[in-house]
Structures are given as C-alpha cells and as structure tokens.
Amino acid sequence: MPDTLTDPVLWSPRNPDMAQSWAKPGALTAMLRGASGRCPSCGKGRLFRGWLRQVDSCDHCAAPLGAVRADDAPPYFVIFIVGHLVIGTQIALDGVMGLSLLAEAAIFLPLTLAASMALLRPAKGATIGLMLQLGLVPARDA
Ligand SMILES: [Zn+2]
C-alpha cells in the first residue's frame, strides 16, 4: 500500500488493468454527464453518494469513479467563474446605481455564496468526467 503523502502518485492511463475496462465517451459527453451527477462513462449510474463525495464505482458499469481524484480543480474553476461573474456584476451595478458598501455586501456576499455552492457539484462532476475520459486514474498497486 503506497503512502500517498510521501510516494508520488503514479498516473497510469495505459494501465491494462484499468484503461479499457469502462466505456470512454467523448470529453464533452463525459463532462456533461458528470456535471449532471451521472456516471461519466455510462450516464446511468450515480456519480455522488452525498453532496460532493463520489461513489467508489459506478453501480451500472463499474467505472472506478472513486479512484478519480479531482482535488482542488473544481473549487478553482468555481472561484474563477463566480469571481468573474460577481465582480463584473458588482462593477456594472456600482457604475449605474452607486450602491453603498453595506448594500453591496448585502447583495453580493449571499450571491457569491449561493453561486459557489450551486456550481461546486457540477464543476466536480465535470472535472471527474474529463479526468476519467482522459484516463487520469491512478494505478491500483503503484
Ligand atoms: Zn457507469
């Protein structure tokens, strides 16, 4: 059992044990299936067993969904998207309406929180879908 804190994670897209054992749809299809919370491989099984915790494997096609480690990529994408939307809206509204700081805080802090929470799960699903499609699954016994 490798210690993932000290041993490097070995990505093995050509691992014969894992690479061809599940279907690989196109990247866009896999990302859309993942974003909708379905298995990126077959589109029928569930991807999540909680809000953000992914299942170990698809109950329909046995794709190793739990082995795909999206890590910090989904929050990065969410911060990037929400930051641009909220800051752009805030600047536009500030130029037109001239809101006070308190009014801006009352509008944009909850908006930022709600948008971030709403986008995090689809972003994680899409990231997992893309990673699975690209074969970015660590080898089991590396
Ligand atoms: Zn599946």
Domain ranges in the chain are: 16-133
The closest of 130, 79, 86 to 104, measured between CA atoms, is 86
Closest CA to 86 of 67, 121, 49, 113: 113
Strand partners, 48: 54
At residue 5, the pLDDT reads 54
pTM of the model: 0.79
Mean pLDDT by 10 residues, the chain (142 residues): 52 49 87 96 94 93 91 96 95 88 93 97 97 82 48
pLDDT at 107: 93
pLDDT of residue 22: 74
- In this structure, the dihedral spanned by the alpha carbons of residues 44, 55, 36 and 138, taken in order and rounded to 10 degrees, is -100
Could you tell me the distance, in angstroms and rounded to a whole number, from the CA of residue 21 to the centre of ligand 1? 11
Task: State which amino acid sits at residue 49.
Answer: R
How far is ligand 1, taken at its centre, from the CA of residue 65, in Å? 8
Rounded to the nearest whole angstrom, what is the distance from the C-alpha of residue 74 to the centroid of ligand 1?
21
Query: Can you count the helices (H) and strands (E) in the chain?
Result: 3, 0
